[in-house]
Amino acid sequence: MKTLKFSMLVLALAVAQTAFAGPTWTLLETLDVSAQGGTVTSATTLLNGMLYQIEASGTFSAGDTITADAEYSSGRPSYVWQDYVERYESYGEGLLELRVNGQFVEWGDYNPDHVYTLDIVGNGSQLQFSFDIYDIYFPNNEGGLTAKIYAAPVPAPGALLLGSVGMGFVGWLRKRKSL
């Protein structure tokens, strides 16, 4: 009897873990976004019911001792990574940031590895991603950033229900003091 109860517990936990596990990401495309200007357009089209993740990574030189990533920059006089470009504050927070479809996005808190992600759910539109780095003077820039596009199916409501049932079953077994 104890073996059966233990097997039921393992099965319930496995069901719950499978249902609540994060998405399995598949790399669709890798794009190099030059800091020298221009827009790079992906071949990826958003499909309904898919979860997409854009990963922006890397750093580039913006001249004048400035280094930048998708959201933050560092340069004279403090060399502290911040959400604006020191000595160029009048151009706003967006200066040197990676834009998606011509729009500024919030890439999140500063990451010393210079890797940021943005999740988007496909709504069936024929939208393609385009990337560019916003700058006022491109000739002194060197390098660029990498944009990767990943996809994963959005969890089905049934999977969430199944996970909830599994966790409920574990609670029920504990309440019965079977565990």
Q: Has residue 159 got a pLDDT over 60?
A: no
The predicted pLDDT at position 123 comes to 77
Residue 113 is part of which domain span?
23-159
The predicted pLDDT at position 161 comes to 47
Long-range contacts of the stretch 60-65 (C-beta < 8 A, 24+): 60/35, 60/133, 60/141, 60/142, 60/143, 60/144, 60/145, 61/35, 61/141, 61/142, 61/143, 62/35, 62/96, 62/135, 62/140, 62/141, 63/137, 63/140, 63/141, 63/142, 64/140
173 within some domain:
no
Q: What is the CATH number of the domain that holds 58?
A: 2.60.120
Q: What is the mean pLDDT of residues 6-20?
A: 44
The predicted pLDDT at position 6 comes to 44
pTM (predicted TM-score): 0.74
13 within some domain:
no
The structure tokens listed for 128 are 């393609």
- Enter the DSSP assignment of 133: E
144 within some domain:
yes
